[in-house]
Amino acid sequence: MQDAQVMISAMAGERVLIVDDDEGVRESTGDYLAGHGFKVAFAADGEQMRKALASGAPDAVLLDLNLPGEDGLSLARWLRRNHDVAIIMLTGAAEVVDRVVGLEVGADDYLAKPFDLRELRARLRSVLRRTRPGEAAQPAKETPKRIGIGRCELDLATHQLFGPDGEISITHMDFELLKVFAQNANRVLSRDQLLTLTQNREWEPFDRAIDIRIARLRRKIEADPEKPAVIRTVRGAGYMFVPG
């Protein structure tokens, strides 16, 4: 089997970097994904991950939580700051705290080990659809459409969030949530509706991940995150975006 950082050739397709210190996981997962059209590279730890990224950023990173040396959460933070890639956290524990912390640092999805390879592929395809949407042809010099959200502006064309001091870093799932709220102003949205409207059906309707993401977004868009006035909680019903 290939060593870490070595690429498995496949038909032209999305590139996936598997970061896991378990050679068996790298081997079985890499072979499976390569057989389904992905280009796969490997890393056994953070140092090898950075070396692999230096030769070209992948479309997605499958990142093990429990790595020797620098752990997966630290690496996820670094990835989110430095690269525009989809991140799926792989964890050997199914505790909610692992999932929540992983999402807090910017992961797009998580999967507990041992996982079914077909489920992994489905989640990977879903994340890549969200994070690499097909670009519709746009007229030349079209002015990007921006929507005011609290003290910020959301650019629907570029998927960027801008605050008073410039661009604010957000994940693709953060953008999808903000867009849904902006398109449903003054309307109460339940967690299940948010799941449907963001097309993220992997989450369970009562998964706390949405609450965590909204709390994080409030810290970016609200004048006072402790007393949210833009994305309001409607007790027993869900959340509502109130334009300023």
Domain boundaries, the chain: 15-131, 146-241
CATH architecture entry for 146-241: Orthogonal Bundle (1.10)
pLDDT given for residue 218 in this prediction: 93
114 upstream amide cis, omega within 30 of 0: yes
> Per-residue pLDDT averaged across 160-185, rounded?
89
DSSP-derived 3-state class of residue 194? helix
Q: What is the pTM of this model?
A: 0.54
Q: Residues near 91 by Cβ (< 8 Å), separated by ≥ 6?
A: 64, 65, 66, 72, 98, 99, 102, 110, 111, 112, 113
CATH for 15-131, options being 3.40.50.2300, 3.20.20.70, 3.40.50.620, 1.10.260.40: 3.40.50.2300
| Alpha carbon separation from 20 to 1, 50, 107 (Å, rounded) | 15, 13, 16
Q: Which of 214, 222, 220, 221 is nearest to 239 (CA)?
A: 214
Q: Quickly state the pLDDT bin for 190 (edges 50, 70, 90).
A: confident
Strands (E), the chain: 15-19, 39-43, 60-64, 86-91, 109-112, 146-149, 152-155, 160-163, 166-168, 188-189, 231-234, 238-241
**One-letter identity of residue 223:** A
| CA dist list (Å): 73 to 126, 134, 138, 180, 226 | 22, 29, 38, 28, 26
In the prediction, which pLDDT does 134 show?
46
For 160, list phi and psi in degrees, rounded to 5.
Answer: -115, 155
| Residues 59-74: tens digit of each pLDDT | 999 999 889 889 888 8
Q: Phi then psi for 118, rounded to 5 degrees?
A: -70, -40
- The two counts, helices (H) then strands (E), for the chain are 8, 12
- Average pLDDT in the 226-234 region? 93
Q: Read off the DSSP letter of residue 136.
A: P
Least confident range from 44-48, 97-101, 200-204: namely 200-204
Q: Do 15-131 and 146-241 show the same overall fold?
A: no
pLDDT of residue 17: 96
Residues 6+ apart with CB under 8 A from 181: 149, 189, 231, 239, 241
